[in-house]
A and B are shown apart, each in its own frame.
Chain A
Amino acid sequence: MIAALALVAGIVLGLVLRPTVPTWLEPYLPIAVVAALDAVFGGVRARLDGIFDAKVFVVSFISNVVVAALIVFLGDKLGVGAQLSTAVVVVLGIRIFGNAAAIRRHVFRA
């Protein structure tokens, strides 16, 4: 309940503030999005598994974003930014798919 409300609050906040993303932050936006989706699916799955932990949820989200951004930043400096960005998206994408499948098993028992 709180999670849904907070999610809506975040969306409304984003819509109201409409912050302009600085140029240097732009390459990290897709990674942040994928990390956010991963955190959401992971959280829902953990909740269904009965092992949800708010601290883990928040820390994993923030650390995922930071680490992914760091990897891409490093890659950018070394000239492999695009490839590393793809790697991050692939890894997090696989996790999202796996978690979505687990959620599906929980919800539909199939």
Chain B
Amino acid sequence: MTPKPPAAGDQLSAQLLIDLVTNTLDPGYAAAARVRGHTPPRRWSDRPALAVGCVLIGFTLVVAYSHTNRGAPEAAKVHNDLVSRVRAAQHEVQRLSAQAQQLNSALTALRDQALSGDATLSRQLDRDQLLAGQTAAVGPGLQVVLTEPPRTSASAPPRRGGPAPGDVATILTDRDVRSVVNELWADGAEAISVNDVRLTPTSAIRFAGNAVLVDFAPVTTPFTIRAIGNADVLATNFASSAVASRYKTLAGADGIGFDFTEHAKLTLPASPATAPRIAHRPSRTATPLPTPTLTRTTR
């Protein structure tokens, strides 16, 4: 290396650092220049050596570049593949549930035909099915819309069944949807749907990742909650409820969208039929029916 008077301890390490920063050129160049003097003799090996060195350097750089960039398309390919598979599965679900609803309505029609003699039974069946959310419901009611505040990096317009928002924290969660739904039930709603997913007595509004799941169907903002009932009573009760005042406050503070309007005619879709798998009615001959006992569950 560069000739330096030997220094001890701290001086040496400091000298090393100074050397590192000031003598950036490889010392070999200076040494070689000193050896051959002022008139550099042209050696036969100069050109090939230079060429070999440059080829090596170019090769190294390109190999590193292509190696670094080769991985990226692979990852993108896997990602796209997964996305398309999820989309395909979602389409399949939509197709199948549409088919199920179609078959259900055909079944209803056939059964109505079969029950045409028995008006009471038919009426009771209709009523039960309506309450269970097994048939589409039409009537006046209230529509509540909860909207996530607009994000600056909103890449795609949110839509039902579309991609759930990624890793961005959302303000509105299942709890908000649930509290509005519960308030509407309490206010006298007879049938409720969330983003065109009809709620049944066994419906659950849950949260998975950042997506709100209503009966396992992902719903995203805006959450449109439609409730059929006496529109005036619903609107009055809902407007004076604690839930409504909470979201009015939140709308002012956090910028979420909160709006409810009365509608003269709302149409709620039927829920895809779900047959109970475990529960079954007691056999008719079995007597007596067990008296329902109140069991208080603590949460």
Q: Which residues of A contact B (CB under 8 A)?
A: 2-11, 13-15, 18-21, 26, 29-30, 32-33, 36-37, 39-40, 42-43, 45-46, 49, 51-62, 65, 91, 94-99, 101-102
Chain A residues, Cβ within 8 Å of B58: 6-11, 13-14
Are A102 and B63 in contact, CB atoms less than 8 angstroms apart? Answer: no
Chain B residues, Cβ within 8 Å of A40: 57
Chain B residues, Cβ within 8 Å of A7: 54-55, 57-58
27 A-B pairs (CB sep. < 8 Å):
A2-B51, A2-B54, A5-B54, A6-B52, A6-B53, A11-B59, A14-B61, A15-B62, A20-B67, A26-B67, A33-B60, A36-B56, A36-B61, A39-B57, A42-B26, A46-B29, A49-B29, A54-B45, A54-B53, A55-B43, A55-B45, A56-B26, A57-B49, A60-B26, A65-B60, A94-B21, A99-B24
B119 on the interface (CB 8 Å rule)?
no
Interface residue tally for chain B (C-beta within 8 Å): 36
Beta-carbon nearest neighbor of A6 in chain B: B54
Chain A residues, Cβ within 8 Å of B50: 2-3, 6, 54, 57-58
B 31-59 to A, binary, CB cutoff 8 A, 1 in contact else 0: 11100100010010111011111111111
Q: Which residues of B contact A (CB under 8 A)?
A: 20-22, 24-26, 28-33, 36, 40, 43, 45-47, 49-64, 66-67
Q: Helix, strand, loop or mixed for chain A's interface?
A: helix
Beta-carbon nearest neighbor of B24 in chain A: A98
Known contacts A54-B47, A55-B46, A102 near B28 by CB under 8 Å? no
Closest 5 CB pairs of A and B: A10-B58, A98-B24, A14-B62, A6-B54, A51-B33
Are B59 and A95 in contact, CB atoms less than 8 angstroms apart? Answer: no
Chain B residues, Cβ within 8 Å of A60: 26, 28
Chain A residues, Cβ within 8 Å of B64: 29-30, 32-33
Chain A residues, Cβ within 8 Å of B59: 10-11, 13-14
